Structure 1
Amino acid sequence: LKDSSKDAPQQNTEVDEPWDEPSQEEETLYSTSPPRTPRQIKRMSNKHQRNSQG
């Protein structure tokens, strides 16, 4: 019983830690749009438009 309870939270935390880090950063980058994001977004938009036209 103790092993099962210990394995459940441990795995959840391990998967939540690495997933929450990049997920939150990406969301903040696209949602908050910091001073360094507009440039990347514009570049991405240009690439997407070019890909669509090409």
Structure 2
Amino acid sequence: MNRKNAELIAVQKAAEMKQCELRQAIDKLENQLSDTVNNADQIKRSSEEKVNP
């Protein structure tokens, strides 16, 4: 029983580490998406200013 508990704890810790990695990856992607949207908005405004000075 002790060995089984140790195995379960190891699997749980590995899952928690993977979850942390995934959260970090999601945060990075969210930041990249936000930067991309902001950049697109800036380009759109700049383009509109050139067309309608």
TM-score, normalised relative to structure 1? 0.46
Higher relative contact order (CA 8 A, sep 6+): 1
Higher share in helix: 2
TM-score, normalising length from structure 2?
Answer: 0.47
Q: Which has the larger radius of gyration?
A: 2
